[in-house]
Amino acid sequence: MNEFEKEIISIITNAGDCRAHCYKALDYADEGEYEEAEKEMELANDALGKAHVEQTQFLVKEARGEDIKCSILFVHAQDHLMTAISEKNLIERIVELRKVVNSLLASRSIEEVKEI
């Protein structure tokens, strides 16, 4: 595997790590463990930052006139990155909504919750 491919794999791996942390955060939020959810979202942001740095390096190289090979693997990496960004943004909102739902459910009796 050459250096170009390693950089692409790094984008894919970090984007995947971002998504995994996001979904783990969502699981924690479902259980009302918001501090753990926040820690997972921080890890997601870190992984996303690493992927974004790799992507930016490609953009800078191309802006300087270097020929960047647009392979299927490169397109695949971009797809993973954009998906991770979108999912992270949505999950952040869902976690906030989950806090509201959990709070409302906690303020109701078991009979009221069963009716919902």
To the query of whether residue 76 is one of the catalytic residues in this protein, the response is: yes
Catalytic residue among 21, 52, 76, 80: 76
* DSSP symbols for 12-80: HHHHHHHHHHHHHHHHHHHTT-HHHHHHHHHHHHHHHHHHHHHHHHHHHHHHTTPPPP--HHHHHHHHH
From CA 15, how far away is CA 91, in angstroms rounded?
15
Which residues are marked as active site?
Answer: 76
